[in-house]
Amino acid sequence: MKTYSRRWVLGALLAGASAPALANPPARSPLPPIRPPRAVTAAPGHAAPSVEALLAESRLSGQVAFVVADARNGRVLESRGASDRLPPASVIKAATAAYALESLGSDHRFVTRVLATGPVQNGRLQGDLILAGGGDPTLTTDHLGALAAALRERGLREITGRFIVNGGALPSIRTIDPEQPDHVGYSPAVSGIALNFNRVHFQWQRAGSGYRVSMDARDSRFQPDVSSATMRVAARDLPVYTYSDSGGVDNWTVAAGALGNGGSRWLPVRNPEAYAGDVFRSLARSHGITLPAARVERGRLSGSVLAERRSDPLVAILRGMLRFSTNITAEMVGLAATIARGQTPRSLGDSGAAMAAWLASRHGVERAVLHDHSGLNGTSRLSAGAFVRFFAGAQADGWLRGLLRDFPMRDARGNVLPNHPVSVAAKTGTLNFVSGLGGYVDGRGGVPLAFVILSADMQVRAGITGAARERPPGGREWTLRARSLQQALIERWVALHPG
């Protein structure tokens, strides 16, 4: 194990702070089973380096597995370690998108409702007011502000009963991956209500001999302070952050020695219902509506609808998920898909297993072990040989490529090469010492190729502990080597397989 300097640890933990109409696929893939690869050679005038030469040049430690196939018929053109089962990381989000589209439909919209258990008379609700989450992963503070404004337009000024927040549309999960550090915003809690991707904004500024800190739920129009998450500056150097839960309140401390003059970052929310209720109560107050402190209930609740917010269509949400690789979106739409298929998952592992079974029956992706829908859990496993069947089948279905991001080709310094003749649409995946890429590349003549590349150094990854998990030494350099190798392999395939 390497030892890490205090400066490196502090820099790593505070980094990144500042800165947030398709037809449903058919029931079964029309592709025939994948056939073994045949011997291939480069087309005349298009010499390609060998795989061994590319691997040696990359100096990438660990395992590298890949498969490239003709996307029109599933015929494997070249492979290495096709049966090696490695973590897919965020590449699995492409499969999550397919799973959600088939289970929910491309036009599905998630609905957040404000319900009343009694009538509104003379500005007073005679009963309870319920903020009911509908599994919308894109709900923001501004959306809650619009709901509060709608209540004001209906003449509501106060309630006689309770203010209840209900997130029971999805199971309650404290963190996407328990192995992640407490403070990373990409592993928040999951629930049927998720505000601002279940993140709270922490900001600090030096003030005299101390610091002025704030915790808020900022958005474009509204920036309410919150009481459901607190921050205290502690006189220490390490650990940079500590977390505790006290009666549904997220209590944080931060090391004074790590703060410098000022900055900000998003921290994860562990009590989503309390957070959403806190923010909605504040927004209601700004619209002249008095509400009591929120109470959290997860059972089935009913009432008349006073206001509602409908999300964008699912296909638009999935496009954003694949573009920004949003973990909580993947988990929420994955859970919703499993529930829509008649199952009752109690954990991300339950729902991941249901998606793995769907991949096997729908696309022939065998022996996949999935513990979530985002790929953040590094214990998930599948092989490139099995996974490429999904991409080939989705090519035949004709919808996935339009949702994937363009993967630009770059020069040796990492600069995007404009007007590069190779066109790639793919989903990336990155964990500590894990890198994946899966998608499509147009061969010469426009022939579509489906491919999956999985790389991992599991030995080095297993040795990373504690604070180093956010930005481990050597991790960035390893990832750059993996991405360089991915591009070199793609360029080789285009030269070898003109169609």
Residues 191 and 287 in one domain: yes
Q: Looking at the structure, do residues 202 and 215 belong to the same domain, yes or no?
A: yes
Categorize the per-residue pLDDT at 420 as very low, low, confident or very high, splitting at 50, 70 and 90.
Answer: confident
Q: Where are the alpha helices (DSSP H) in 232-300?
A: 272-286
Q: Which residue type, as a one-letter code, is found at position 425?
A: A
Domain match, 390 and 460 both: yes
State pLDDT tens for residues 149-199: 999 999 999 999 999 999 999 999 999 999 999 999 999 999 999 999 999
Model confidence pLDDT, tens digit, residues 104-138: 999 999 999 999 999 999 999 999 999 999 999 99
Three-class SS state of 27 = coil
CATH number of the domain to which 227 belongs: 3.50.80.20
Claim to verify: residue 141 and residue 198 sit in the same structural domain: yes
Rg, C-alpha atoms of the chain? 25
Spatial contact of 252 and 240, defined as CB atoms under 8 Å apart: no
Say if residue 134 is in the same domain as residue 211: yes
Domain identity same for 418 and 319: yes
- C-alpha distance from residue 116 to each of 134, 279, 288, 296, 403 (Å): 16, 19, 18, 16, 39
Judge if 227 and 304 occupy the same domain: yes
Where in the sequence is the domain holding 207, given as residue range(s)?
1-10+110-311
Does one domain contain both 294 and 227? Answer: yes
The sign one gets for the Cα dihedral 310, 312, 317, 320 is: negative
Taking the C-alpha atoms of residue 407 and residue 497, their distance in angstroms, rounded to an integer, is: 19
| Count of structural domains, the chain | 2
The residue out of 275, 296, 311 marking a domain boundary is: 311
Q: What is the pLDDT of residue 283?
A: 98
**CA–CA gap between residue 382 and residue 391 (Å, rounded):** 14
Tokens of 484: 């360089």
Are 268 and 347 in a shared domain? Answer: no
d(CA 71, CA 440): 8
39-57 confidence digits (pLDDT tens): 334 444 446 899 999 999 9
pLDDT at 4 over 50: no
Q: Could you tell me if 58 and 4 lie in one domain?
A: no
Give the domain CATH number at 341. 3.40.710.10
Question: 30-44, 62-76, 288-302 — which is least confidently predicted?
Answer: 30-44
- Quick one: 268 and 129 in the same domain? yes
Q: How far apart are CA 409 and CA 492, in angstroms?
A: 13
The reported pLDDT for the residue numbered 499 is 55
Residues 177 and 129 in one domain: yes
Q: Which amino acid is at 448?
A: P
Peptide bond into 239 cis (omega under 30): yes
Q: Which amino acid is at 27?
A: A
Q: In what order do the strands lie in the sheet with 124-125?
A: 120-121, 124-125, 158-159
Write down which residue in 311, 334, 355 finishes a domain. 311
24 has pLDDT over 80: no
Domain boundary among the residues 265, 288, 311 is at 311
pLDDT of residue 498: 64
Helix/strand/coil for 239: coil
Q: What is the mean pLDDT of residues 428-436?
A: 97
